[in-house]
Structure formats: C-alpha cells, structure tokens
Amino acid sequence: MTPLLSARGLTKLYPGGRGCREVSLELDAGEVLAVVGESGSGKSTLLSLLATELAADAGRIDYRLRDGTVRDLLVLGEAERRLLLRTDWGFIRQDATQGLRMAVSAGGNVGERLMAVGARHYGNIREAARDWLERVEIAPARMDDSPRGFSGGMRQRLQIARNLVTQPRLVLMDEPTSGLDVSVQARLLDLIRGLVAELGLAVVIVTHDLAVARLLSHRILVMKDGRVIESGLTDQVLDDPAAPYTQLLVSSVLAA
C-alpha cells in the first residue's frame, strides 16, 4: 500500500548552513518514526516542514488522503491545509502553552477542536471533552478550570486530548516529555504509548532522548548537520549502530 506520508529530497537551509538537506522518509499508517540527533541537527526543522509550517526550498511531501488520493503537501491550497490540520493531523508541541488556548478552559480546549470539524451540539461536545479528559487522566472536576493552573504534565496531557479528540491519522510530536520530572515523563510516555497502540496512530516524534525513541518507535532516523546519516528499525540501530555518530550517541547514553 502507498505510505501514509512520504518525503523526497526535503531541503530547507538557513543562513550559516543549518536546516535540512535532502531528507527522505516514509511512514506507514500505524507506524511510529523517531527522529533523533543533537541540538542543531535539523530534526525540528524537519518536523516543521512536515507540518507545513515552513516552506521548503526543495523536495516534496506526499500524503495519502482518506479517499486514497495522494497529494503533495507543499502545493496544497491554504483551505486544504487548514482542513488537514483540523482533522487528519495532530501536533503535540514541546511547550504545551503553544499548543493550547491558555485563556480557555480545559474542556473548552478539547471542545474547540470538535467545533472546528463541524460539531455543534453543546451536550455532545461537552461529553466528548469529558471522556477525553478522563482518558488522559485529568479529573472531570477540572473540566472548567483554566490550563494556567495545571502542572506541566497535566498541560501536556490536555494537549494530547485536544489533538486526538478528532481521531487524526497522523500525529507529530516535538520533544513531548522534555522539561518534565522523570516520574511525570514515565507516566506521560506510558499514556502516549497506550493511545498510539489503541488508536493505530502514525507518529513522527522528534526527541533527543534515545530511551524515548526505543520505547515508542518502530523505526528511527538519526540526523546530523541536517542530513539523515542512519535509519532502520529502532532496536537494530540502537543495539548495533553503523554510523560513527550514532555509535557516539548510543555510547554517551550508556556512559551517562
């Protein structure tokens, strides 16, 4: 079957040479792909390109729509792009305040996304929001509370609920556990892993943490200086890395 997402020769360069250089990848439905590398390796630029938040200098990104047709995301019209962002895609951001409406209640954050896809019955919207808050371990009693009063872990869980309530097929994640306490990270990772498996989501996750990549992903891309230097099944790459840079990354984790 045609991949859900396919990038070919994707390039975006900034002054000084940073960015992405001729990156290619494929992602099947239900597959989790981790993109790893040190700061400045190009992994976050790649994620922004896939999300169509950045304009590429070269390349193409093909996406298989629900009706089976394949479109190049880089030439989509603005209306088509916005529709995909509201329905087929989710984006879990490192800083949850950038992925939430901080002036809107927890339930309102989830309900807004449903309204964006046409839901209008207040009772049904509220019930769906309540259900999703419970699924991400936020007490229904906090439904009308502002996210400003939530902890970092709770904000991330609320951001997950907001993104998944419309049942997207593709979710992009940018360092979703970064900056959280270790115990909170572990709880959040367990939640993410369970929801990804339950919903059959395709995920591209950017992370500097190889333990996160091993726990969540089926395949892995290792980036350095804007290029993919190694890729393959996650366990194979991390247990027997071929590229010297990947060997260095893995050994630094083991020595930590």
Q: Among residues 142, 167, 192, which one ends one of the domains?
A: 167
Do the beta carbons of residue 247 and residue 210 sit within 8 Å? no
Please indicate, yes or no, whether residues 256 and 211 belong to a single structural domain of this protein: yes
Task: Write down the pLDDT at residue 17.
Answer: 80
CB hemisphere CA count around 12 (13 angstroms)? 21
Task: Write down the pLDDT at residue 247.
Answer: 93
Please indicate, yes or no, whether residues 105 and 55 belong to a single structural domain of this protein: no
Task: Write down the pLDDT at residue 120.
Answer: 84
Place of tokens 């409406």: 101
**CATH at 69:** 3.40.50.300
Given a cut of 70, the residues of the chain with pLDDT beneath it are 253-256
Task: Write down the pLDDT at residue 87.
Answer: 87
Please indicate, yes or no, whether residues 83 and 188 belong to a single structural domain of this protein: yes
Please indicate, yes or no, whether residues 42 and 139 belong to a single structural domain of this protein: no
Do the beta carbons of residue 224 and residue 245 sit within 8 Å? yes
Residue span of the structural domain in which 71 resides: 1-88+172-256
Both tokens of residue 143? 């439904």
Task: Write down the pLDDT at residue 254.
Answer: 55
Angstrom distance (rounded) from CA 108 to CA 120 = 13
Residue 211 lies in a domain: yes
Domain count, the chain: 2
Residue 231 lies in a domain: yes
pLDDT single digits (tens) 65-94:
999 999 999 998 888 888 898 889 999 999
Residue 93 lies in a domain: no
pTM for this entry: 0.93
Residue 2 lies in a domain: yes
